[in-house]
């Protein structure tokens, strides 16, 4: 997909963050947009911004991607007028961190439902029509650096992001026969509202040391707009792996080329974060 002008692009998670920035970036390039998110108010603002940038929003509906029937109904309404979308961008997601002794079953289930089954519902609802239309197209699945590396406190989150990575790896080859490209986006630090609201189970976010860690994260974070540009550049070049920052790209290369030093680095990082968590918990009693 060398151009986005007049292409029909579905963006999930479009109400904020990378989703909103991607919708606006596509609008700027003359795309036609189908937008969805759980946040209805934010979604309407994203629609306004995308249209102001030059895009045409042909469908905009607040829905929960964990509701398979709602996703299927949304797709059916679009097919009545458009036959099939040209690009699916699975951007919607949530994040919950915690140690294995802090995370409860409900945290795991919620992450699986939103981050893994949500994209599956979207793929099932939209990709078969893309295949039948025989126009090619592109699928974008937003994973995470946590879909590449064993980051501290990320067990449940990584389970879903590694899962989405596995789905994308298979679709990369399966959909090639239909002229449909697949990109797996692995963002590192991106300064979205999620940074300030992320649920860290068993950790007091108001603790000064945790806030200092958050601020350090934000200093190294790229903007949602920069992440969106990286995604669209990756699609234009038909890249499978798309990175939004150099640190994740280098880390992924390092992980593959130097497995033993990577393991030592991850052990060191895990030890430092574990020690911080232990001190915060002890002081809370």
SS3 track for 97-144: ECCCCCCCHHHHHHHHHHHHHHHHHHHHHHHHHHHHHCCCEEEEEECC
- Residues 244 and 11: their CA atoms lie apart, in Å, by 18
Active centre residues (catalytic): 157
Residue 4 parent element (H or E):
none
Sequence length of the chain is 285
Residue 7 near residue 31, CB atoms below 8 Å:
yes
- Residues 199 and 191: their CA atoms lie apart, in Å, by 16
- Residues 259 and 116: their CA atoms lie apart, in Å, by 28
Angle between helices 208-219 and 259-284 (to 10 degrees): 150
Q: Which residues pair with 35 in a beta bridge?
A: 11, 60
């Amino acid at each position: 997909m060398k151009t986005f002008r007049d292409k029909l692009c579905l963006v999930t998670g479009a109400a904020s963050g990378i989703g909103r920035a991607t919708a606006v970036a596509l609008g700027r390039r003359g795309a036609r947009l189908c937008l969805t998110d759980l946040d209805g108010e934010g979604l309407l603002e994203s629609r306004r911004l995308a249209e102001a940038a030059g895009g045409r929003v042909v469908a905009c509906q607040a829905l929960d991607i964990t509701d398979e029937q709602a996703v299927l109904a949304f797709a059916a309404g679009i097919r009545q007028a458009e036959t099939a979308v040209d690009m699916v961008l699975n951007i919607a997601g949530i994040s919950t961190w915690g140690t294995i002794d802090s995370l409860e079953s409900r945290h795991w289930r919620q992450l699986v439902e939103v981050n893994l089954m949500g994209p599956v519902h979207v793929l099932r609802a939209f990709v078969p029509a893309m295949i039948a239309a025989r126009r090619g197209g592109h699928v974008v699945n937003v994973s995470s650096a946590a879909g590449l590396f064993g980051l501290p406190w990320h067990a449940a989150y990584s389970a879903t992001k590694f899962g989405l990575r596995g789905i994308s790896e298979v679709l990369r080859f399966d959909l090639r026969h239909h002229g449909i490209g697949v990109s797996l986006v692995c963002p590192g630090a991106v300064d979205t509202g999620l940074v300030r609201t992320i649920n860290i189970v068993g950790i007091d976010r108001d603790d000064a040391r945790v806030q200092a860690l958050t601020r350090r994260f934000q200093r190294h974070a790229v903007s949602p707009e920069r992440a969106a540009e990286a995604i669209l550049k990756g699609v234009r070049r038909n890249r499978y792996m798309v990175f939004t920052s150099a640190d994740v790209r280098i880390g992924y290369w390092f992980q593959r080329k130097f497995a033993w030093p990577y393991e030592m680095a991850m052990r060191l990082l895990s030890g430092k974060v574990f020690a911080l968590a232990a001190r915060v918990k002890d002081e809370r009693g």
